[in-house]
Amino acid sequence: MPHARPAPAVGGVPQGAPAQPAPEQPAPALAPALTLDLALTIRHDGQGGVADDLDTPDGLTAWVRGHAAALPEALAAPRYRADAAALERVRSVRAAVRALFAQAVRPEEPSGADARRLPPLADAVARLNEAAALVPTVPVLTWPPGGEPLVHETPAPAPAPGTADLLEAALARAALAFLTGPDRTRLRACHAPRCVRYFLKDHPRQEWCKPSCGNRARVARHQARTRGTA
């Protein structure tokens, strides 16, 4: 009799091997959005300055809850609440991500929001590698009947890591996937007046992250030309 919810086939796992837990990694398709959204918690405040959405533990709590679909299941519960230590760790990962974004957009200029305060490239790489290693993983082969063999990373059998480790590792691994994937070559910094965002370039002529930034940039250019001919 067929079950209502059949378990995934694991034809490639050796007989007698212990059951593996479900993957606790961000879905690859969500990695670009997760990494960009982390970087974009540094943003224009609407008044000529820069705002930080992760300036308090409550800010991090809200951000994690808003990105639950791209994070390990243990972080998705409404009861998740960040503390000061978790906030400091995530902000450190974010600084590493923004430093590597600044490197990725070269020879163009990076976002002006924090370019002079970011860690050196080697330190940023080391920080992400350190964070990604907090939750060890192992490759697991699956081969469903009639399908193709697949390998995915799943947490290695070990004591359950704390939520802070899960969050830090998930963010770092999403960043590593982004930085080594095809989207890195589309990454740009928006240099419209007052904008400090990074974005993915969707077509060859795109210069700004959104139409409103394009409008501001064109107005600024027109005003500069007018002043130059006055």
* CA 15/CA 40 separation, integer angstroms: 46
Peptide bond into 157 cis (omega under 30): no
Q: Do the Cβ atoms of 148 and 11 come closer than 8 Å?
A: no
For helices 84-104 and 57-66, what crossing angle results, to 10°?
Answer: 70
- How confident is the model over 8-64, as pLDDT tens digits? 333 333 444 444 444 444 444 456 789 999 999 999 887 778 999 999 999 999 999
Paired residues of 155 in beta bridges: 137
Which of the given ranges, 17-21, 63-67, 71-75, has the highest pLDDT on average? Answer: 63-67
Using DSSP, state whether 24 is helix, strand or coil: coil
* CA 134/CA 155 separation, integer angstroms: 10
What is the structure's pLDDT at 42? 95
* CA 83/CA 67 separation, integer angstroms: 17
- How confident is the model over 121-178, as pLDDT tens digits? 999 999 999 999 998 888 889 999 999 998 887 777 766 788 899 999 999 999 999 9
What is the structure's pLDDT at 139? 85
Alpha carbon of residue 72 to chain centroid: 13
Name the token pair of 100.
């590597």
Q: Do the Cβ atoms of 112 and 92 come closer than 8 Å?
A: no
CA 220-100-105 angle, to 5 degrees, is 40
Confidence tier at 226 by pLDDT (50, 70, 90): low
- Candidates 220, 221, 180, 214; CA nearest to 197 is 214
